[in-house]
Chain A
Amino acid sequence: MRRRSRGGTATEPRGSALYEVLKGIDFERRELLDKPRGVGLFDLVKDKGGSYRCYACTLCERTCPVDCIEIDYCPEFEELPFDLEAERAAALATLPGESCGANSACVVGEQPAGFVPEIDMKKFDAVVAGIRSGTGLVQALHSTQEAYGYLPRVALENIAGEMGLPLSRVFGVASFYGQFRLVPVGKHVIDVCMGTACHVAGAPLVVEAFSQELEIPVGGTTPDGLFTLQTVNCVGSCALAPVVRLGDDETIGRVGPNEARRLVRRLRKAEVPA
């Protein structure tokens, strides 16, 4: 295994200082292979005609994790090298219907087949009231989930409308946070704690036991809509590890795989109409 030389890189300045040293040198790109990081510079790609392909959309500047790209005015560029509006219009024209940013059907998707409960829009009034009183998007999603147990697409659309945000933005937030669910949950939600203490005490075996007994993967819901199996990062009851939370109220400590199977069987039995 080749080991990269790192001697001194932590103390020597990089980036702009190196640029001063290297700016006159015409680098052959392939010479940079196998060199330590920091000796090369990023350049803009030119088309055959000699014009820059970059149209200063600033995306690279905004997403660069270490903020090493800065877009600035440069006298060497010809003025208006790129007609941004025309390009954008052309790009939109090539994608008929919904394109990114407006209403991203490609990511929101349709509800997967399976257990889908009725959606009572009356419950949504509380969410709207919350939004109008000035709570943020995350809080609105929380109260939606409290009302429905998950985030139905129609609710996301309404939140987007109410807050004046693109649906893609609402969906982006909803899918970022681990606690928000985009699919309906069953009657009994089983949260298995996967914190460190629970892991050490054997939580993976417990999850597996639940998964086998319920015949669903983590995150899944049984076809009869009775059980949903989830994991949670830490419920903070580490002294009782491994911990399982049933619904919002009940927390059960010191659960092994055998207890897990029995719990499912007990809950199933209680559901069978006498």
Chain B
Amino acid sequence: MSARRTNGREPADAGAARRSGDASRTRRAGRIRRAFKAAFDAGAYIADDGKAEIRVCAGTACHASGRAALRTAIDKALADRGLTDKVAVVETGCHGFCEEGPIVVVRPQGLFYPRLTPKDVDEIIATSVVSDGIVERLLYKDPATGEPVAHEAEIPFYKLQERVVLALNGKIDPYSIDDYLAHGGYAALARVLEDDDPMAVIDEVEAAGLRGRGGAGFPAGRKWRFCRGNPGDVHYIICNADEGDPGAFMDRSVLEGNPHSVIEGMTIAAFAIGAQSGPVEGYVYVRHEYPFAVQRLRAALTQARERGLLGEDILGSGFSFDIRINQGAGAFVCGESTALTASIEGHRGMPRGKHIRTVAQGLWGQPTNLNNVETYANVPWIVNHGAEAFAARGTATSKGTKIFSLTGKVVNGGLIEVPMGATLRHVIFDIGGGMLPGREFKAVQLGGPSGGCLPAALLDDPIDFESLMAAGSMMGSGGMVVVDDTTCMVDFVKFFLKFTAEESCGKCVPCRIGSQRLLEILERISDGEGTLDDLERLETLSEDIIEGSLCQLGGSAPNPVLSALRYFRDEIEAHIVEHRCPARVCRPLIQYTIDPDACTGCHVCFAACPTDAISGERKQAHVIDQKLCIKCDTCRQVCKFDAIPVVDARPALAEGRQR
């Protein structure tokens, strides 16, 4: 805490301290230091990374893959051996390696056991907890080499990341403020309060070059300065945790794994913006779809208040700030700042024009600072380590690290934190482990429904705000969906348009009607009934929507279409000219057949077919009645012999066109 105690603001010489202003400041600093120590000591908690501990990942994904049953089994196994008091079981936040859930880490060795089932538990406790062995059969195996990797830190997925925001995710218990304090938590807040210089905090954040992690990348320090400069009865600090992008879950994981870091970041922001200029109030706008995040945040807020780190007169500094939770209700447009404030006020979440910015008139007409979860979570780190250390990572214009949620057809899906400017190839192939076996990389989609799909040719581009924008995509909140050759780009873009057409709030015509028309054109193409004129129509309509929409939902809705036209025009044209879907996804253009040589007549598909379209005797090749087939893909998925190939539905027509 006292690492940077040498700047000019500290009363270094005794003469200065004698002046009355400085004396009261010293008294105040002493008071804060004592209050912080009291908050620290209240739990009588000693962080001991050397003690035996079993850490169970309790993130949403691991919960879905059976965390609760695992926990019961661990508790029982420990109780059977009389170890309940000796070995702590800690439910941590998301470890980030969601593909391998449920995850258990045995400490102090740091042994990493993925994909556990309750029946494995006994063996692990017998070998790794009671004695010092390793259960080799249950270890993670490096897909590249096939070698087992025992320790969490050595797994390539973790080794190649640089975790700043996620540093404590999976290491601390999100329900324990003591754990956070023991790992240096709230020290940044105490320092800021002690120094009592809000402008210095803003300068520091601005010097660090921290840009908003929610998508647009507006410099956070500058936003704080504007907000502070605007007069109002109250200044509002809002944390946007309405992570609406489908396929993005980093904000959820930060809130679930380390809620105190967000609270600390918000409190520092509140101090920087509101201290010495009037009251400040905070809101976290969090999705209702994230019950764990809400639960943990609520617990964290209560604990922070109990310790005097939040609420009235924080750490005896005279500064007051409290945070309320506001839950969203499933509207993507509420990620837009003005729609979000409207939603908190109890209105329909419709954006308004931004000729008056939210930093001047936001929530209830008062100056409002709105940042994303990840942005706030970066703030304590900047205060602790200084702007220079933060700016040392990243590129010239994009500083620090960024968390991506890598999903789709990759081997290692999960949360990945890398410095800005890392290449897509590094993230997808080195850390993400590349494509599933036998599959070829086709595109990566960034930025959710507002972003674009980038082809293999751009894999070596750096990931920063400007490069992505130039390539026709955007950072968004950091969702990264990788698709392979089994995904049809027309169908993929159709999915995004369907999403934006549904989520359009309906205020402006270009977005409300335009996205619907775009979708209809895409549906026509996907049905094999498009014309080449449609491509031009898509382009002009897209431009009109971008230009005529009020908010960024409409302004970026056509991005998937435009990027697909830019990079995957061949594939779209194949639908139109050849009436063929190269990825064999668009239903009117494909048909399911049975390969008589590969079919063993096992009857599995026969039993699974919902429409009884499959006929044939046991041990003899089956056939599909095309009139009854609804192309539901069930037979192909249940077939163990790969005997159900999907072929072009109109081969004659396609050949004719080609000639």
Report the separation of the CA atoms of residues A196 and B630 in the bound assembly, to the nearest whole angstrom: 23
Report the separation of the CA atoms of residues A199 and B290 in the bound assembly, to the nearest whole angstrom: 20
What 7 new A-B contacts, CB under 8 Å, besides A173-B346, A237-B249?
A136-B345, A196-B479, A197-B247, A200-B487, A205-B634, A236-B61, A238-B249
Min CB distance A258 to B, Å, is: 5
Q: Which residue of A63, A241, A256 is within 8 Å of B637 (Cβ)?
A: A256
The stretch that binds A, out of B315-323, B391-399, B533-541, is B533-541
The answer to whether B330 touches A177, judged by C-beta atoms less than 8 angstroms apart, is yes
Report the separation of the CA atoms of residues A212 and B608 in the bound assembly, to the nearest whole angstrom: 14
9 A–B pairs (Cβ distance < 8 Å), ordered by A: A3-B540, A136-B344, A178-B331, A180-B329, A234-B244, A234-B245, A238-B481, A239-B413, A257-B610
Is B520 among interface residues, defined by CB-CB distance under 8 A? no
The answer to whether A66 touches B353, judged by C-beta atoms less than 8 angstroms apart, is yes
Is B246 among interface residues, defined by CB-CB distance under 8 A? yes
Number of B residues with CB within 8 Å of any CB on chain A = 74
Min CB distance A39 to B, Å, is: 15
Is A184 among interface residues, defined by CB-CB distance under 8 A? no
Q: Which residue of B289, B331, B353, B637 is within 8 Å of A257 (Cβ)?
A: B637
Report the separation of the CA atoms of residues A243 and B355 in the bound assembly, to the nearest whole angstrom: 41
Per-residue 0/1 for A123-160: is the Cβ within 8 Å of any B Cβ (1 yes, 0 no)? Answer: 00000000000001111011000000000000000000
The answer to whether B409 touches A1, judged by C-beta atoms less than 8 angstroms apart, is no
The answer to whether A65 touches B332, judged by C-beta atoms less than 8 angstroms apart, is no
Residue on A with the closest CB to B479? A196
Q: Which residue of B355, B414, B503, B543 is within 8 Å of A67 (Cβ)?
A: B355
* Residue numbers in A under 8 Å from B408 (CB-CB): 196-197, 200, 238
Per-residue 0/1 for A225-252: is the Cβ within 8 Å of any B Cβ (1 yes, 0 no)? Answer: 0000000111111111101000010011
Report the separation of the CA atoms of residues A65 and B487 in the bound assembly, to the nearest whole angstrom: 36
Min CB distance A211 to B, Å, is: 11
Residue on A with the closest CB to B448? A196
Report the separation of the CA atoms of residues A173 and B65 in the bound assembly, to the nearest whole angstrom: 35
Report the separation of the CA atoms of residues A169 and B370 in the bound assembly, to the nearest whole angstrom: 26
Is B123 among interface residues, defined by CB-CB distance under 8 A? no
Q: Which residue of B60, B355, B550, B610 is within 8 Å of A212 (Cβ)?
A: B610
Min CB distance A244 to B, Å, is: 10
The answer to whether A1 touches B637, judged by C-beta atoms less than 8 angstroms apart, is no
Is B568 among interface residues, defined by CB-CB distance under 8 A? no
The answer to whether A233 touches B332, judged by C-beta atoms less than 8 angstroms apart, is yes
Report the separation of the CA atoms of residues A248 and B533 in the bound assembly, to the nearest whole angstrom: 47
Is B638 among interface residues, defined by CB-CB distance under 8 A? yes
* Residue numbers in B under 8 Å from A142 (CB-CB): 288, 327, 329
* With known contacts A199-B495, A253-B64, A261–B98 Cβ distance under 8 A: no
Q: Which residue of B481, B632, B638 is within 8 Å of A205 (Cβ)?
A: B632
Residue on A with the closest CB to B637? A256
Report the separation of the CA atoms of residues A65 and B632 in the bound assembly, to the nearest whole angstrom: 42
The answer to whether A241 touches B331, judged by C-beta atoms less than 8 angstroms apart, is no
Interface positions of B from 156 to 173, Cβ below 8 Å from A: none
Residue on B with the closest CB to A67? B353
The answer to whether B329 touches A232, judged by C-beta atoms less than 8 angstroms apart, is no
The answer to whether B414 touches A239, judged by C-beta atoms less than 8 angstroms apart, is yes
Interface residues on A, range: 35 or more
The answer to whether A209 touches B610, judged by C-beta atoms less than 8 angstroms apart, is yes
The answer to whether B610 touches A261, judged by C-beta atoms less than 8 angstroms apart, is yes
Is B549 among interface residues, defined by CB-CB distance under 8 A? yes
* With known contacts A177-B329, A179-B329, A251-B63, A138–B346 Cβ distance under 8 A: yes
Is B419 among interface residues, defined by CB-CB distance under 8 A? no
Interface, chain A (partner B; CB < 8 A): 1, 3-4, 6, 63, 65-67, 136-139, 141-142, 172-173, 176-180, 194-200, 202, 205, 208-209, 212-213, 232-241, 243, 248, 251-253, 256-258, 261
Residue on A with the closest CB to B486? A200
Report the separation of the CA atoms of residues A52 and B136 in the bound assembly, to the nearest whole angstrom: 85
Report the separation of the CA atoms of residues A131 and B252 in the bound assembly, to the nearest whole angstrom: 27
The answer to whether A241 touches B407, judged by C-beta atoms less than 8 angstroms apart, is yes
Min CB distance B460 to A, Å, is: 23
Report the separation of the CA atoms of residues A256 and B639 in the bound assembly, to the nearest whole angstrom: 13
* Residue numbers in B under 8 Å from A177 (CB-CB): 328-331, 349
The answer to whether A138 touches B329, judged by C-beta atoms less than 8 angstroms apart, is yes
Report the separation of the CA atoms of residues A51 and B543 in the bound assembly, to the nearest whole angstrom: 39
Q: Which residue of A65, A138, A197, A208 is within 8 Å of B326 (Cβ)?
A: A138
Min CB distance A262 to B, Å, is: 9
Report the separation of the CA atoms of residues A198 and B331 in the bound assembly, to the nearest whole angstrom: 19
Min CB distance A171 to B, Å, is: 10
Residue on B with the closest CB to A134? B324
Min CB distance A156 to B, Å, is: 14
* Residue numbers in A under 8 Å from B99 (CB-CB): 239
The answer to whether B247 touches A1, judged by C-beta atoms less than 8 angstroms apart, is no
The answer to whether A1 touches B610, judged by C-beta atoms less than 8 angstroms apart, is no
Report the separation of the CA atoms of residues A202 and B587 in the bound assembly, to the nearest whole angstrom: 13
Per-residue 0/1 for B137-157: is the Cβ within 8 Å of any A Cβ (1 yes, 0 no)? Answer: 000000000000000000000
* With known contacts A137-B346, A173-B348, A200-B487, A4–B247 Cβ distance under 8 A: no
Residue on B with the closest CB to A172? B348
Min CB distance B324 to A, Å, is: 9
* Residue numbers in A under 8 Å from B550 (CB-CB): 65-66
Interface positions of B from 425 to 448, Cβ below 8 Å from A: 445, 448
* With known contacts A179-B330, A212-B610, A238–B507 Cβ distance under 8 A: no
* With known contacts A205-B632, A252-B64, A65–B507 Cβ distance under 8 A: yes
Report the separation of the CA atoms of residues A195 and B540 in the bound assembly, to the nearest whole angstrom: 28
The answer to whether A136 touches B536, judged by C-beta atoms less than 8 angstroms apart, is no
The answer to whether A178 touches B64, judged by C-beta atoms less than 8 angstroms apart, is no
* Residue numbers in B under 8 Å from A257 (CB-CB): 610, 632-634, 637
The answer to whether B632 touches A209, judged by C-beta atoms less than 8 angstroms apart, is yes
* With known contacts A199-B495, A213-B610, A236-B249, A253–B65 Cβ distance under 8 A: yes
Residue on B with the closest CB to A64? B353
The answer to whether B348 touches A176, judged by C-beta atoms less than 8 angstroms apart, is yes
Report the separation of the CA atoms of residues A208 and B632 in the bound assembly, to the nearest whole angstrom: 8
* Residue numbers in B under 8 Å from A66 (CB-CB): 353, 508, 548, 550
The answer to whether A205 touches B329, judged by C-beta atoms less than 8 angstroms apart, is no
* Residue numbers in A under 8 Å from B226 (CB-CB): none
Is B474 among interface residues, defined by CB-CB distance under 8 A? no
Min CB distance B374 to A, Å, is: 15
* Residue numbers in A under 8 Å from B540 (CB-CB): 1, 3-4
* Residue numbers in A under 8 Å from B413 (CB-CB): 197, 238-239
Is B567 among interface residues, defined by CB-CB distance under 8 A? no
Report the separation of the CA atoms of residues A205 and B635 in the bound assembly, to the nearest whole angstrom: 12
Min CB distance B501 to A, Å, is: 13
The answer to whether B289 touches A234, judged by C-beta atoms less than 8 angstroms apart, is yes
Is B248 among interface residues, defined by CB-CB distance under 8 A? yes
The answer to whether B60 touches A235, judged by C-beta atoms less than 8 angstroms apart, is yes
Min CB distance B307 to A, Å, is: 24
Closest 9 CB pairs of A and B: A65-B508, A137-B346, A239-B98, A177-B329, A195-B246, A178-B330, A196-B247, A251-B64, A236-B249
The answer to whether A139 touches B405, judged by C-beta atoms less than 8 angstroms apart, is no
* With known contacts A173-B348, A233-B244, A237-B60, A200–B481 Cβ distance under 8 A: yes
The answer to whether A195 touches B414, judged by C-beta atoms less than 8 angstroms apart, is no
The answer to whether B346 touches A239, judged by C-beta atoms less than 8 angstroms apart, is no
The answer to whether A237 touches B98, judged by C-beta atoms less than 8 angstroms apart, is yes
Min CB distance A76 to B, Å, is: 26
Min CB distance B253 to A, Å, is: 8
* Residue numbers in B under 8 Å from A180 (CB-CB): 329-330
* Residue numbers in A under 8 Å from B414 (CB-CB): 239
